[in-house]
Amino acid sequence: MADNGQDDGLIMALPKGRILKEVMPLLRGAGIEPEPAFEDPESRQLRFATNHPNLSIIRVRAFDAATFVAFGAAQLGVVGNDVLMEFDYPDIYSPLDLGIGRCRMVVAEPKEVADDDNPERWSHIRVATKYPQITRRHFAGRGVQAECIKLNGAMELAPALGLCRRIVDLVSSGETLKANGLVEVEQIADITSRLAVNRTALKTRSEEINGWVESFREVADAA
């Protein structure tokens, strides 16, 4: 235990929710076995030991996994490139595409709007999204001013309730768009999760961290 009360083991930040199921085989392939409570969605525990005395895991929201790594509170993490693109943290190095959490970031609108719409003609649009930076950047690139309303989830409700006509969100199966009468009109990016590393930790603890990066690289390459 260091003087500041923090132990000196490495911490890996993992996103909770559905992506965790895809993370588990990678973890195990890299030889990491978390304590049993980690896979119990009912557990209120947030930090978990692993079979490696010098490595523990925290289970946090997807956006927060990036924040913990960016500030060095976790040295490693699994972070979607949606989050990396939105925040563009200079202190995160993300050397490895893990090939999990595969989905797309798209612009969607109600089907009846899309039937009569031409995205080429947009000059100003109002969009509900969790990703205001990516959205503004994407549209600014072709001279469209995007006014973003930040929501943290359930974006698909916004058009029906008159908040805006369009949303920018992640689509995987397309079921959520369909269930809410929305159709995709434009793709912004392909999304997967990446291994994220704090740059300072990479310099000061390069041997340990590079060891883990290589273990994950072997598992991701073999998948």
**Residues found near ligand PRP in the complex (CB under 6 A):** 153-154, 156, 169-176
Q: Whole-number minimum distance, CB 165 to ligand PRP, in Å?
A: 17
Q: Whole-number minimum distance, CB 128 to ligand PRP, in Å?
A: 11
What distance in Å separates the CA atoms of residue 135 and residue 17, rounded to the nearest whole number? 24
Question: Which amino acid, one-letter code, is at 52?
Answer: H
Structure-block tokens of residue 11: 């911490």
Select 82 or 202, whichever has its Cβ closest to ligand PRP: 82
Task: Please count the other Cβ atoms lying within 10 Å of the Cβ belonging to residue 40.
Answer: 10
Task: Please count the other Cβ atoms lying within 10 Å of the Cβ belonging to residue 49.
Answer: 15
Q: Whole-number minimum distance, CB 64 to ligand PRP, in Å?
A: 13
Select 184 or 208, whichever has its Cβ closest to ligand PRP: 184
Q: Whole-number minimum distance, CB 151 to ligand PRP, in Å?
A: 9
Select 171 or 195, whichever has its Cβ closest to ligand PRP: 171
* Sequential DSSP letters for 187-223: EEEEE-EEEEEEHHHHHHTHHHHHHHHHHHHHHHHH-
Structure-block tokens of residue 107: 């612009």
Helix pair angle (19-29, 206-222), 10° resolution = 110
Select 72 or 174, whichever has its Cβ closest to ligand PRP: 174
Select 20 or 113, whichever has its Cβ closest to ligand PRP: 20
